[in-house]
Amino acid sequence: MDKISQIKLEMIDICKSAYENKLFAGTSGNLSVYCKDEGYMLITPTSVRYGTMRAEDIVSVKLNGTVVEGKHQPSTEWPMHAVIYEVRKDVGAVFHTHSPYATAFAVTRQKIPFVLVEMAPFLGGEVTCAKFAKPGSRELGLSAIEELINGRTACLLANHGVLAVGIDLPQAHIRAEYVEDAATIYHRALQAGEPVILK
């Protein structure tokens, strides 16, 4: 099996895991992998349910939006993914979720402070909220990039969801999982008392 086919299968496995673990809902959320040697990204299609998605549904698209291969249209968020790959040469995968607890902080435009020790190695500390930009726009990606600084590997997207990056898809995936974990625990801690912020 060639490299691209293997990546597509990995994407489907992670999509199904993300759906089962409530990082995705319905057809919301998307992920991509940048294949530098080939000059395009592999991205999930628009409006295809994760429960039925197959490897052949993954779309190959250049960073300018030209579809190289695929029977579907790419995710409407492809410009956000593309601009991140253009600006951040160290990023090999982008993971965008609508996970409920983290998205609750996104819609209130609050950050998730550094409250768990695991947030340091996986997320670079606190998870800040990027300023609002229209879904499906390059501006949304640029807004996220402004928050992915000082070692931070994920951010909230105002009124939208979560964006996590990594050198590959497994790394971006686990970072997205840790954002939701941190958001869940922080939310519950707020009900229990006054959370202690780490430095």
Beta strand extents in the chain (DSSP E only): 30-35, 40-43, 59-61, 67-69, 93-97, 129-130, 154-157, 161-166
- Least Cα distance to 61 among 91, 46, 82 occurs for 82
Answer yes or no: 38 catalytic.
no
DSSP symbol at 124: S
Sign of the CA dihedral 189, 170, 141, 30?
Answer: negative
Q: Calculate the CA 96 to chain-centre distance.
A: 3
Q: In sequence order, what are the residues at sequence separation of 6 or more whose Cβ sits closer than 8 angstroms to the Cβ of residue 40?
A: 60, 61, 62, 63, 68
Per the structure block, which two tokens stand in for 65? 């939006």
Catalytic residue among 10, 77, 147, 177: 77
Contact 45, 52 (CB under 8 A): no
Q: Which residues are tagged catalytic? A: 77
